Structure 1
Amino acid sequence: MDPPQTLCVLLLLCSINAVVWACPGGCKCQETKILCSGLSDFPTSVPGSTTVLYFTSCSIHLLKPEDLHDFSNALRILLINDTVLREVLNGTFNSTPDINTIAFTATELEDLPETVFQNLQELETLNLNGNKLLVLRPKWFSQLAALKNLDLSRNLFNFVPVETFRSLTELKHLFLSGNNISQLPGETFNGLSKLKILRLNKNLLEELPLGSLDDLGNLEELSLQDNLITHLHHDLFSKTLKLQKLFLSHNRLTSLPQGIFLNVPLLSKISLYENQLESLGPGVFGPVALEELWLYDNRLRRVEDGAFRNLTQLRLLVLSRNQISSVSTGAFGGLEHLEEISLHTNLLTTLQAGLFQGLPSLVNISLEHNSISSLPSGFLRGLSSLGEIDLRNNSFPNLKQESLDALAIAKDVLLQQNPWRCDKDILPLRDWLKKHTSKTNQTLVVCETPFSLSGEIIVELAEENFLPLSFTENPALTPAETWRASHTPPTSSPALKATPTSEHQEVTSGGQGETGTTSNDTWIALIAIAVVAAVIISTVLVGCMCWRRTKRGRGNIGRRSKNSVL
């Protein structure tokens, strides 16, 4: 072939290659992957070797069979996200037998043809999250034998037909969260023996039927939070021996059956906060590998002996924001690995001696926002590595020396916002603060009473602040008495009788006439002024005391963050 002909052939091949590998307008291409955004129509020049096609923020309303025809044999992944897609025609995927992943997320889809996913023997992931699908159609999944991941979250489903997942024997992840599902047939999950994660959170479920989890022998995570569940059957988890994570928070549970968690030995995480639990018996928890237990925002009134004795691996126990008024001495028995316990914002008025004994690993204790007024002798005995104890906003008027000696083992002691009464009984606390300058923020530990010392920093109090009133000192006078003392002449002895001035005559005279009338009016006016002044002063004093008490009682406990509940 002569050179001119060779050159022509090369140019032709280059032009053909350019057409084959051309990237569609409005898209970005990398090898066989294409990302398109902002398109109003499906692109017409998609290369035949395309394996991944991703649309986002587009205005494509319709998906039809011919859209995928030119690259159907190569296509493995199709993702359409945040797009106004309203319809997918039946037969769209008939020419894509090897497709592995399909995702329609955050679209306007309200329904899909029943047979739209038929014959997709290689499909492993189907994501329909965040659409407006109203009816869950079992035939969508009837021939998806290889499906492993199915996400149906955040749609408008209110019912799950019993046969919906019957053919999905390879399914490992099933997400149904964020719908309006109010009930589930007992056989809904039958046959899903390989399922590892099941998410049913954020629905309207009131219960899970007995036996509904019996086929889920490989289940590792179950999400049931944010529902309306009022009770759990005793044997609900009897067959889920591999369960590791269980989320039950924000429901309406009032109690937990004895032994409900006896058959979940691998359970390492459970959430039970924001329910209506009133009690926890000692037989609720079996010997599980639980490391954290969150029970805040319930209605617990008492913590019984041995309530957590089987939770030998527990490191964090959160009992804050309940109605607990009593904690038995042996409530935390067996928790040798416990590092942090939170009992803040309850109704505690006292603590049992020995409450924290047998907890050698304990580092942090939260007791703030209670009504504790004294600490029992040796209540921290046996703790060698205590980092912080929080006693803010309780009812301590003072602390005895033996209590202060016990607190000395902690690195940080929070004592502010208590009604400290600064009389001679406060001296042990003052001296302790002077000795342990780094354990607390001393400028925040201030007197509340008496009023003369209100707001004074306790560590700065001097001895004379506590001296009783001297016999030689004049007693405090009221404003009226002070005025009289300064305007009434001393009583003269007969030998030293002085002649009163005209001014004194006008003020003190009891005679008749115009001068007497003026004197009476003046007295009345002065008395009225004194009464008004006394009322104003009393109002200001009461207001200040209420403001201080209100300020002391304000704890930022409305937040739902981890820090606030700890």
Structure 2
Amino acid sequence: MDLFLTLRLLLLLHFISTSVRACPAGCQCTGNETSCNGLSEFPTPLPPSTKVLILISCSFSILKPEDLADVSDLTTLGIKDTDLIEVHPGTLQSAKHLQKLIFFRVKVQDLPENVFGNNKELQDLYLKNNLLQVLRPNWFSSLIRLERLDLSDNLFTSVPVEAFQPLMKLQSLSLSGNNVTQLATEAFKGLSQLVILRLNKNSLQDLPIGCFDDLVNLEELSLQDNSITHLPNNLFSKTLKLKKLFLSNNKLRSLPQGIFLNLPSLSQISLYENHLETLGPGVFGPMQLQDLWLYDNKLSHVEEDTFRNLTQLRLLVLSRNRILHVSSGAFTGLEQLGEVSLHTNLLTTLHAGTFRGLPSLVNISLEHNFISSLPTGLLQGVTTLGQIDLRNNSLHNLPQQSLDVLSVAAEVLLQQNPWRCDRDILPLINWMKLNPTKVNQTLVVCESPFGLHGEEIVLLTAENLLPQSSTVEPPLTSTGKMKKPTSPPAEQSASSLAATTTSNAEQDNGVENGAVWNDTWVTIIAVTVVATLVISTFIVCCLCWRRKKRGRGEIGRRSKNSVL
């Protein structure tokens, strides 16, 4: 009996000892998962039951076949933030059931040609943010079940034609953040199941005709942050399921007619930060697009019917271009449009009816232009306008007809305009008094004449104002401003005019006094002129600096109501 108990105790101690040794020092073993952090050597021995192995912030540099020999049931291997620089051939040979492999921020520069040859069950392969320099053609030749492949943020400069052709089930492919300069026409041949393709942040200058023709199920295509100068006419003719297309921050100067004509599912597109100079009416076809971002291009005109097919568009951003002219029919058909941004352009005026037929329009951004007048029918047909932003334009005054136009808006931003406070400003004064909630009245101040510079316009009265053609300074308001000094009276001598016997001494004295007065007066005038020039120059510089600063401000810092 004692012998039997002794044997059981020995077996229990052996089991406990084996279990303790099975989890290497510096690791945590839970069920079938082993995770290790900060190791200097590869952990051995590993529990034979390990299916998930995660190694983080380790300093070992070599991965060998014997390291994984005892974990034949491994399904997930992740190595992150580690000094790994070399993977020996056959290292993954024993991991026949591997389904997910992650090399993230390691220092490996190359991998053996057939490194994944025995990993036919691999579904997810992430080789992201490493130092890989050459994309080997045979790396993926056996990965017939691979669904997700991430090769982003490496040092690849080219893509072999045959590299991805065996991946018949691939759904997501990322090559972003490399230095790929060109693509072959057949680079993505056979990838009919691909849904996501990311080629952004490379050095692509052009795209070959037909390179996307086999991607019939593609829904997301990222091409932003390259140097692409033009797009072939039929580049997207076969990608009819495309929903997201990113082309921002390239060097596109024009878009071919019909380039987006057969993309009925497209709901998101980015074209900002290019060199686009024109947009024709045939560029956009019927699609589900709701936001269109075209800021930071070189557009000079917006022609009629350019956006007619975008019937679901809710946001249109045309800011920070060089737009001089907006056709009266430029926004025809955009019945769902809620916001349009035209700020920071070169507009001097707008046509009557520019925003006609836009019943859903809520916000209009026109700030940082050179608009000097508003046509009578500018907001014809607009009934629910929330805000119109006219800041930093060239408005000197607004006649009653223009003010009647603005009455439809709940908020009107008028500050930073060169308001000229003569009798023509009276309609604006009366309008602001009648609509105190529409305008921040304390910010709407006179630019000229000099005597009223900085005065709140709403506080002025008719007596304060100059006639339109007058050059005489008006009486100043009681705000503590000092009146300009009056000119010293001219020297008069009635006796010198009536008598002819005035002594020579008296005449010389009178001449001398007159000369002193004249010199003093000349000095005062000279000082006044110089001071005026200095102050005017300072004010102009401040205004120009403010215009430049506001026009080039960070996009993300702008308020929602003044979208871009």
With the length of structure 1 as denominator, give the TM-score of the two structures.
0.90
Identify if the C-alpha distance between structure 1 residues 558 and 28 changes in structure 2 by more than 3 Å, giving closer, same or farther: farther
C-alpha distance in structure 2 between counterparts of 1:190 and 1:138, whole Å: 14
- Map 1:159-174 to 2 at 5 A: 159-174=158-173
Aligned residue number for residue 222 of structure 1: 221
C-alpha distance in structure 2 between counterparts of 1:118 and 1:173, whole Å: 21
SS in 2 for 1:482: coil
SS in 2 for 1:556: helix
Aligned residue number for residue 9 of structure 1: 8
Matched, 1:147 2:152: no
Aligned residue number for residue 377 of structure 1: 376
Is contact 1:23–1:29 with CA below 8 Å preserved after alignment?
yes
Identify if the C-alpha distance between structure 1 residues 442 and 117 changes in structure 2 by more than 3 Å, giving closer, same or farther: same
Aligned residue number for residue 513 of structure 1: none
Matched, 1:537 2:521: no
Is contact 2:23–2:47 with CA below 8 Å preserved after alignment?
yes
Q: Residue 403 of structure 2 aligns to which amino acid in structure 1?
A: L
Offset of 1:539 from its aligned partner? 2.7
C-alpha distance in structure 2 between counterparts of 1:35 and 1:85, whole Å: 17
Q: Identity, % of aligned pairs?
A: 56
Aligned residue number for residue 464 of structure 1: 463
Aligned residue number for residue 243 of structure 1: 242
Is contact 1:20–1:48 with CA below 8 Å preserved after alignment?
no
Aligned residue number for residue 315 of structure 1: 314
Offset of 1:520 from its aligned partner? 9.7
Aligned residue number for residue 58 of structure 2: 58
Aligned residue number for residue 26 of structure 2: 26
Identify if the C-alpha distance between structure 1 residues 277 and 359 changes in structure 2 by more than 3 Å, giving closer, same or farther: same
Is contact 2:488–2:521 with CA below 8 Å preserved after alignment?
no
Aligned residue number for residue 556 of structure 1: 550
Identify if the C-alpha distance between structure 1 residues 368 and 35 changes in structure 2 by more than 3 Å, giving closer, same or farther: same
Q: Residue 39 of structure 1 aligns to which amino acid in structure 2?
A: L
With the length of structure 2 as denominator, give the TM-score of the two structures.
0.90
Aligned residue number for residue 344 of structure 1: 343
Is contact 2:421–2:466 with CA below 8 Å preserved after alignment?
no
Aligned residue number for residue 353 of structure 2: 354
Deviations 1:67-93 (Å, cap 9, x if unpaired)?
1222x2231111111111100111111
Aligned residue number for residue 487 of structure 2: 482
SS in 2 for 1:330: coil
- Map 1:72-83 to 2 at 5 A: 72-83=71-82
Aligned residue number for residue 49 of structure 1: 49
Aligned residue number for residue 36 of structure 1: 36
SS in 1 for 2:77: strand
Aligned-residue CA RMSD (Å): 2.9
C-alpha distance in structure 2 between counterparts of 1:229 and 1:364, whole Å: 33
Identify if the C-alpha distance between structure 1 residues 205 and 470 changes in structure 2 by more than 3 Å, giving closer, same or farther: closer
Offset of 1:558 from its aligned partner? 2.4
Is contact 2:368–2:551 with CA below 8 Å preserved after alignment?
no
Identify if the C-alpha distance between structure 1 residues 495 and 191 changes in structure 2 by more than 3 Å, giving closer, same or farther: closer
Offset of 1:478 from its aligned partner? 9.2
Offset of 1:180 from its aligned partner? 1.1
Identify if the C-alpha distance between structure 1 residues 461 and 547 changes in structure 2 by more than 3 Å, giving closer, same or farther: farther
Is contact 1:417–1:552 with CA below 8 Å preserved after alignment?
no
SS in 2 for 1:336: coil
Q: Residue 44 of structure 2 aligns to which amino acid in structure 1?
A: T
Aligned residue number for residue 136 of structure 2: 137
Offset of 1:13 from its aligned partner? 2.6
Matched, 1:305 2:304: yes
Q: Residue 43 of structure 2 aligns to which amino acid in structure 1?
A: P
Indicate the larger mover: 402-411 or 269-278. Answer: 402-411
Identify if the C-alpha distance between structure 1 residues 305 and 133 changes in structure 2 by more than 3 Å, giving closer, same or farther: same
C-alpha distance in structure 1 between counterparts of 2:418 and 2:294, whole Å: 29
SS in 2 for 1:307: coil
Q: Residue 396 of structure 1 aligns to which amino acid in structure 2?
A: L
Offset of 1:402 from its aligned partner? 1.9
C-alpha distance in structure 2 between counterparts of 1:422 and 1:150, whole Å: 67
Is contact 1:315–1:339 with CA below 8 Å preserved after alignment?
yes
Q: Aligned residues, how many?
A: 548
SS in 1 for 2:405: helix
Offset of 1:19 from its aligned partner? 3.4
Is contact 1:296–1:320 with CA below 8 Å preserved after alignment?
yes
Q: Residue 533 of structure 1 aligns to which amino acid in structure 2?
A: V
Indicate the larger mover: 352-361 or 520-529. Answer: 520-529
Q: Residue 179 of structure 1 aligns to which amino acid in structure 2?
A: N
Offset of 1:530 from its aligned partner? 3.5
Indicate the larger mover: 13-22 or 204-213. Answer: 13-22
Aligned residue number for residue 394 of structure 2: 395
C-alpha distance in structure 2 between counterparts of 1:280 and 1:494, whole Å: 80
Is contact 1:369–1:555 with CA below 8 Å preserved after alignment?
no
Aligned residue number for residue 441 of structure 1: 440
Offset of 1:223 from its aligned partner? 0.6
Contiguous gaps of at least 5 residues in structure 2 = 476-481
C-alpha distance in structure 2 between counterparts of 1:260 and 1:478, whole Å: 66
Q: Residue 509 of structure 2 aligns to which amino acid in structure 1?
A: T
- Map 1:95-114 to 2 at 5 A: 95-114=94-113
Deviations 1:437-490 (Å, cap 9, x if unpaired)?
22222111111011111101111113321266899x99x9997x83465xx466
Deviations 1:316-362 (Å, cap 9, x if unpaired)?
11111111111111111111111111111111111111111111111
Offset of 1:548 from its aligned partner? 5.1
SS in 2 for 1:536: helix
Is contact 1:177–1:202 with CA below 8 Å preserved after alignment?
yes
